[in-house]
Amino acid sequence: IAKTKSWYNDTVFIIVADHSFAANNANTSLNSKLPYYRNRLGIYSIPFVVFDPTKPVGVIDKRPAHHVDILPTALDLANYNGTYFSFGQSLLQKANGQNYVVHFSNHLYHIVDEEFILLFDGVNSKSLFNHKDDPELTNELLGRPMYSERIKKLEQKIKAIIQTYSNSMINNRLSYSAH
């Protein structure tokens, strides 16, 4: 029906789930036929679709993304160049190795970049997996010297995010004000 409306070609549709079915239903995630959906990363996997009827070619992007990326992506689609506050990143920007996802579950922060997932308790790293090479997250990498720099980088990122978020909450500055 939308295709027949005058506004159709002037509209960009953003379709995203608010959570995965598996994340809400432990039995479903544990019994999934696909092993990927049984782990800490897979249970949070959701569709994130941007549809522009004027662009005939689709793109599949495997970078980590999450809900906080919706606002920057929508503003980018609208060619907005003003200032705004967001922890997210526009998914329309080229991949630069800086994409990451952060969430907190079962008393652990999870930071996911394009290759690794680090579990962090607020003080110490608890686990590290290479989700790109080990999608079922079965090969623990924490404690292996060859990953110490990656762990340090991910710890610095998650600590900075926690600090920025906490200070913004304490000082009521989770929005941008031009004043």
158 neighbors 109 (Cβ within 8 angstroms): yes
pLDDT at 120: 97
Cβ contacts of 159 within 8 Å, gap of 6 or more: none
pLDDT at residue 111 tops 80: yes
Q: Which tens digits make up the pLDDT trace of 128-144?
A: 999 989 988 999 999 99
How far is 69 from 174, CA to CA, in rounded Å? Answer: 15
pLDDT band at 65; cut points 50, 70, 90: confident
**Alpha-carbon span 12 to 15, nearest angstrom:** 10
Q: What is the mean pLDDT of the chain?
A: 84
64-68, 94-98, 105-109, range with greatest mean pLDDT: 105-109
Q: Is the pLDDT of residue 24 over 60?
A: no
